[in-house]
Amino acid sequence: MRIQANRDFEIVAEGFGFIEAPRTSPEGHVWFADLVGKGVYRKRPGHGVEAMLPERQWVGGIVFDESGKVLCSGRGGIVGFDPATGETVNLLDEIEGEAVIAVNDMEADGRGGLFGGTIDFVSIFETNSTPEPGKLFHMSAAGDIKVLRRDVSASNGLALSPCGKWLYHSETSRGVWRYALGADGMPGEGTLIVELPDSDGLVMDVEGGFWVACWESGRLLHYDAHGVCTQCHTFPQPHIVSLDFGADDPGLLTISTGGNANMPQAGAVLRIKVDTPGLPGKLTRLKTLEKHG
């Protein structure tokens, strides 16, 4: 494996602090958020960047619902946003009677619901203290919550395998976990298949390989289905944060980057061509949103 300094990329958006949650909608619109600033944004072909939820804070995950609504994680939990009206509805603000500090990455489960992870961004960003462990959880299409893990240091990228039998989960400080899914779609005990302290966003390809964003080292790594690293890319930006494959062109990998003190506005959304097509995220089908349709 060789390290490739990648200069052959398309810039979709740039000039932000630390971009998270890049997602391409079924219409081909690229959505993303600025984690260290505020806001959820949309970039439509032929248009400039639009601020859709300018005050939404700490958004680490975006998922599209069949209703046309956009699910956004962030401070206090998850909201559903209607791009047509600008209205939002609260979908999750507590788990087991405890207020949610923040939800980070999310991924649709292919059954109408989603997987997500909580994270203590108050400690990380505001009090500079040791964060409390987060929860890996599942939200069903009906809105029921099931906690899957309670010991997650920093929950990040989530993705389903092409065969639908495995859930992959990036836990920053540990690496990439793989969970076998039961007949009910729920994961069993996980196996840490790749040790990678700065693992962040994660997506799968059609051959069962996966790409991992390494936020601290600024690397983009590809692993085959056996967990062997086959590619390593770097970019001019100092941090690689999150990833996405869109249904409009699965041969393009969307990458979000982040800045730091030396390059404060290096947050960008990039796209590169890949040899093996990727797996776009599924859509949710939340009944709560149907009631507000």
**DSSP assignment of 134-174, as one string?**
EEEEEE-TT--EEEEEEEESSEEEEEE-TTSSEEEEEETTT
3-class SS at 57?
Answer: coil
**Annotation: CATH topology of 3-291:** Neuraminidase (2.120.10)
User: pLDDT grade, residue 2 (50/70/90)?
Assistant: low
Give per-residue pLDDT as tens, 236-269.
999 999 999 999 999 999 999 999 999 999 999 9
Q: Is the pLDDT of residue 293 over 80?
A: no
Nearest CA to 54 among 88, 29, 104? 88
Distance between CA atoms of 4 and 235, rounded to whole angstroms? 9
Percent of the chain whose pLDDT exceeds 70: 98
Q: How far is CA 293 from CA 29, 144, 277, in A?
A: 21, 20, 34
**4 pLDDT higher than 90:** no
Q: Residue 270: its pLDDT value, please? A: 98
Which token pair is 80?
Answer: 């559903």
- Arithmetic mean of pLDDT, 50-75: 98
d(C-alpha 265, C-alpha 4), whole Å: 23
pLDDT of residue 263: 95
Kindly compute the dihedral angle of the four CA atoms of residues 45, 46, 47, 48, in this order, to the nearest 10 degrees. 90
Say how far apart CA 78 and CA 139 lie, in whole Å.
Answer: 11
Q: Tens digit of pLDDT for each residue in 124-133?
A: 999 999 999 9
What rounded mean pLDDT belongs to the chain? 96
At 1, the pLDDT band (50, 70, 90 cuts) reads: low
Indicate the pairing of strand 175-181 with strand 187-195: antiparallel
140 alpha-carbon distance from chain centroid? 18
- When pLDDT is averaged across residues 51-57 and rounded to a whole number, the result is 98
Alpha carbon 181 to its chain centroid, in Å, reads 20
Q: Looking at residues 181-198, what average pLDDT do you find?
A: 96
Instruction: Check residue 7 and give its pLDDT.
Output: 76
Section 60-69 average pLDDT: 97
Q: What is the pLDDT of residues 159-175, one digit of tens each?
A: 999 999 999 999 999 99
